[in-house]
Amino acid sequence: MRTPDAKATAISRQYAAWPYPQVPLLANVDPTHPWQLHCDSLWDRCGSGPAPARPRIWIAGCGTFQPYVFSIANPRADIVATDLSEPSLRIARRRCALHGVRNVSFAPCDLQDESTWPQGEFDLIECYGVLMNLSDPERALAALARRLAPHGVLRLMVYPQFSRTRVFQLQRIARLCGFHGDDASHPSKFRSLVKSLTKDHPLRFAFTTYADSKNDAGVVDAYLHAGDRGFTGWQLGALLQSAGLRPANWMHRPWAQPDVAQERLALMGRAQSTVLGYLDLWQELRQNFVVCCTRRDAAPVVDDASTALRAHPSFHGRASSLRHALRLWRLRTFGGRVPTRTGDGDVVLCARDARLLASGTGLDADDAALLRATGLVLGTAGEPTAISTHLEIEGHDAWLASAQSLRIGRLAPNPLYLHLFAALDAARSWPQLGLPHLDDQLRAWLPWATPLEHERIRFGLTPYATAQRRQAAMRDHLEREPLPTAASYDEVRLRDDASKLQSARAFATAHDAPAQLTDAAARELWCLAFGQADLFLTMLSA
Ligand SMILES: C[S@@+](CC[C@H](N)C(=O)[O-])C[C@H]1O[C@@H](n2cnc3c(N)ncnc32)[C@H](O)[C@@H]1O
């Protein structure tokens, strides 16, 4: 058995104290709501053909809620739910028992230690929001991929680096102030600290609009985390590649599908990881990276069984419970809405469509085409995208480090907004991307960008909106030579440095922050908590 490293120990302690997510035990999931998590549906979307009638599913890092959701979606599967956190497993087990779910078994397991893993191969492996906790995600993912059945599907969620910048900046504030998950009073102290920021503060905006901020376990998971991370599109592409996985279906809103975005943004010829990395840079991904993968060595499935049209099992045939039967009856009698998990809006089913799905017969070509687009009729045999999945970009890590570094100058980019500058600066500092001039990029974005606006903020919260509102300033900035950088806040001084350090320390004390702030920490805290009004700051070298 492997000895956990310091990060693993801290993360294990965190999820033992704060099982996640914090959802009431009696919260119900409607039996037709998680239909997109049905193994047959995921196999179909990935081009793997029909899944086995009794698939083996492994939820690796299941938390407190997913076992119940997956058992509702897959009532005829054998599900193994594992997690590092035994308290999370206890809650998940109790929840399943309370809801009469019997097809899930539970076991503790460390994804960084294969000797603790469940035995055998799986038709579906779910690894949602877990990989970014691991010290060596490459190794864990490659080992997970080896546990996939030949046409099995692995669904993965990881955080996007740039779209999650504000959450990472809030984490930084918490760390500077000394807030952490080992103290039960810290989530509420941190919450009141963030809520004391001015109403136009982008970090307050991010905090209040994030669903996880509502309860303490969510606050710990998002902002007081013991060590998570984000992935750029390129890092994710490289990760999948090195694990021998092929991204077969991005569970993203239509706009964040690589082929759609590639065409709209005139990024033809770029790999999927580049297009998604670019969307993330511009904060237009609007969600986490969620991808369903198959093994790269799996032979294509081309037999008739995989192309024959059939109704989605959650809407066809025998209901799995009385509640399910009632829900299907209601749909077949009155029609109704079926929610999607891909930001696609609800699927609206008329009663006739629901009856067609129920009988599974009499689907004529038009019906089938219409319903197939919704995913409620299976038999796609997968239509693999023509876009290459990943192209290694040399110098990526150096670019990322430089994009996140402090700049020195009288008009230096405000460190609170470094991510906006990174996006705008990408074409200049990263020619390998082959991005057009900023003006042409903006023209391409014009019909599509939906900037995260906040009317009290003088410039936009997305690179697009910032460039639109501050065109002259941004152009002037981009035309200057890249500014010198500083390695830390020790090496810079702000204008009126001493009084800013004092304000930051007073702020931390007022919120009962346990940390004694060094000058560098106080300076950084000032930038994050009080520097929101200006896009450029004076950063003098020390
Ligand atoms: C953000 S939660 C996600 C939970 C669940 N997948 C969901 O989406 O609701 C991360 C989960 O990963 C688990 N975890 C963290 N490190 C792990 C490891 N090394 N091995 C197994 N599970 C781990 C945590 O205990 C926690 O339950």
Same structural domain for residues 401 and 485? yes
Q: Is any atom of ligand 1 closer than 6 Å to the C-beta of 513?
A: no
Q: Which residue did the predictor score with more confidence, 479 or 296?
A: 296
Q: Which pLDDT score, from 0 to 100, does residue 5 have?
A: 79
Q: Which pLDDT score, from 0 to 100, does residue 453 have?
A: 62
- Is residue 313 in a domain? yes
Same structural domain for residues 369 and 435? no
Q: Which of 20, 88, 114 to mutate to test the pocket of ligand 1 (most atoms within 8 A of CB)?
A: 20
Q: Which of 22, 130, 158 to mutate to test the pocket of ligand 1 (most atoms within 8 A of CB)?
A: 130
Domain end: 273, 295, 317, which one?
295
Alpha carbon of 82 to ligand 1 centroid (Å): 9
Give the percent of the chain with pLDDT over 70: 95
Alpha carbon of 141 to ligand 1 centroid (Å): 14
Torsion of CA 70, 74, 76, 82, to 10 degrees: -20
- Is residue 273 in a domain? yes
How many domains are contained in the chain? 3
The amino acid present at 81, given as its one-letter code, is A
Same structural domain for residues 366 and 473? no
Whether residue 482 is preceded by a cis peptide bond, meaning omega within 30 degrees of 0, is no
- Residue 437 banded pLDDT, cuts 50, 70, 90: confident
Q: Which pLDDT score, from 0 to 100, does residue 337 have?
A: 92
Q: Say whether pLDDT at 261 is over 60.
A: yes
- Is residue 135 in a domain? yes
Q: Say whether pLDDT at 455 is over 60.
A: no
Q: Which pLDDT score, from 0 to 100, does residue 1 have?
A: 63
* Ranges 191-200, 426-435, 506-515, 521-530: which has the least confidence: 426-435
Q: Which pLDDT score, from 0 to 100, does residue 192 have?
A: 97
Same structural domain for residues 141 and 189? no
Residue nearest to atom 4 of ligand 1 (CA): 63
Q: Say whether pLDDT at 136 is over 60.
A: yes
Same structural domain for residues 170 and 144? no
- Is residue 144 in a domain? yes
Average pLDDT on 488-497 reads: 96
Alpha carbon of 144 to ligand 1 centroid (Å): 15
Q: pLDDT by residue (tens digit) across 76-121?
A: 999 999 999 999 999 999 999 999 999 999 999 999 999 999 999 9
> 178 lies in which domain range?
165-227+393-541
Q: Say whether pLDDT at 382 is over 60.
A: no
- Residue 306 banded pLDDT, cuts 50, 70, 90: low
Q: Which pLDDT score, from 0 to 100, does residue 144 have?
A: 98
Which residue in 22, 164, 165, 37 sits closest to 88, CA to CA? 22
Domain end: 267, 295, 323, which one?
295
Q: Say whether pLDDT at 456 is over 70.
A: no
Average pLDDT on 431-441 reads: 85
Long-range contacts of 187-191 (CB under 8 A, 24+ apart): 187/216, 187/219, 187/220, 187/224, 188/216, 189/511, 189/512, 189/513, 190/219, 190/223, 190/224, 191/219
Alpha carbon of 131 to ligand 1 centroid (Å): 8
- Is residue 147 in a domain? yes
Q: Which pLDDT score, from 0 to 100, does residue 432 have?
A: 82
Residue nearest to atom 27 of ligand 1 (CA): 63
Same structural domain for residues 143 and 175? no
For residues 537 and 531, is the Cβ–Cβ distance under 8 A? yes
> What is the chain's length?
542
Average pLDDT on 372-388 reads: 76
- Residue 362 banded pLDDT, cuts 50, 70, 90: low
- Is residue 482 in a domain? yes
- Is residue 12 in a domain? no
Same structural domain for residues 365 and 439? no
CA–CA distance, 194 with 204 (Å, rounded to integer): 6
Average pLDDT on 170-177 reads: 98
Residue nearest to atom 9 of ligand 1 (CA): 63
Q: Say whether pLDDT at 381 is over 60.
A: no
Burial 174-191 (b: 16+ CB within 10 A, else e): bbbbbbbbeeeebbebbb
- Is residue 125 in a domain? yes
- 123: domain CATH number? 3.40.50.150
- Residue 435 banded pLDDT, cuts 50, 70, 90: confident
Q: Say whether pLDDT at 364 is over 80.
A: no
Q: Which pLDDT score, from 0 to 100, does residue 395 have?
A: 86
Q: Say whether pLDDT at 540 is over 90.
A: yes
Same structural domain for residues 458 and 322? no
Q: Which residues, including other chains, have CB under 8 Å from residue 146's CB and lie 6 or more apart?
A: none
Which residue in 511, 501, 505, 503 sits closest to 190, CA to CA? 511
Q: Is any atom of ligand 1 closer than 6 Å to the C-beta of 501?
A: no
Same structural domain for residues 506 and 425? yes
Q: Which pLDDT score, from 0 to 100, does residue 71 have?
A: 98
Same structural domain for residues 60 and 190? no
Same structural domain for residues 116 and 234? yes
Q: Is any atom of ligand 1 closer than 6 Å to the C-beta of 420?
A: no
- Residue 466 banded pLDDT, cuts 50, 70, 90: confident
Q: Is 206 helix (H, G, I), strand (E, B) or coil?
A: helix
Q: Which pLDDT score, from 0 to 100, does residue 506 have?
A: 98
Which residue in 499, 501, 443, 504 sits closest to 471, CA to CA? 443
Alpha carbon of 15 to ligand 1 centroid (Å): 8
Q: Which pLDDT score, from 0 to 100, does residue 427 have?
A: 85
- Give the position, in ligand 1's atom list, of the atom nearest the Cα of 59: 6
Same structural domain for residues 206 and 124? no
Q: For the whole model, what pTM was predicted?
A: 0.95
Q: Is any atom of ligand 1 closer than 6 Å to the C-beta of 83?
A: yes
H-type alpha helices, 243-314: 258-264, 272-281, 304-307
Q: Is any atom of ligand 1 closer than 6 Å to the C-beta of 68?
A: no
- What's the whole-number average pLDDT of the chain? 91
Q: pLDDT by residue (tens digit) across 224-255?
A: 999 999 999 999 999 999 999 999 999 999 88
